[in-house]
Amino acid sequence: MRTLQAADHIVTGSPLNPALGEDPRWPDWYRQGCKAAVEGVDAFVAVVTDGYTSSTWMMCELDTAWRLRTQHRRPLLFMLKQNGEALPLGFRMYEEAISLLPVDVDQATLAILRGA
């Protein structure tokens, strides 16, 4: 993230987990905030951690980005996974359509910059 910012790219993320504090984006996030945020980016990176597929908001964000990509050919979609395991069956359509990033941060950043 810092490398992208150092290259003058704007980097944003999901709203703060409510367990960690308040984020003013939550009240409108599912209705229109997420879609507006994703429409405004050139690249979307899904960072898949152990709890990713059980997270409602993370999967909604990925689905929003995937749908926008299929309809408008943007944003570019990338996935960074902690392990090499396939996503659960219901998520395979996303995994098959998204460029998998290397785990190394510098290599992942370069891949994003080349794709964007």
Q: How many CB atoms lie within 10 A of CB 101?
A: 21
Pairing verdict, β 43-48 and 99-100: unpaired
Query: Taking residues 3-14, what's their average pLDDT?
Result: 85
Asked, for residue 41, whether it belongs to a domain, the answer is yes
Asked, for residue 2, whether it belongs to a domain, the answer is no
Predicted confidence band of residue 88 (pLDDT cuts 50, 70, 90): confident
Asked, for residue 8, whether it belongs to a domain, the answer is no
* Per-residue model confidence (pLDDT) at position 52: 74
Count of domains for the chain: 1
Using CA atoms, how far apart are residues 91 and 2, in angstroms rounded to an integer?
29
Asked, for residue 62, whether it belongs to a domain, the answer is yes
Asked, for residue 48, whether it belongs to a domain, the answer is yes
- The tens digit of pLDDT for each residue in 102-114 reads 988 888 888 998 8
Asked, for residue 1, whether it belongs to a domain, the answer is no
Write down the pTM of the prediction: 0.86
What rounded mean pLDDT belongs to the chain?
A: 87
- The tens digit of pLDDT for each residue in 67-77 reads 999 999 999 99
Asked, for residue 110, whether it belongs to a domain, the answer is yes
Asked, for residue 58, whether it belongs to a domain, the answer is yes
Question: Residue 81 sits in which domain range?
Answer: 23-115
* Per-residue model confidence (pLDDT) at position 31: 92
- The tens digit of pLDDT for each residue in 18-39 reads 889 999 999 999 999 999 999 9
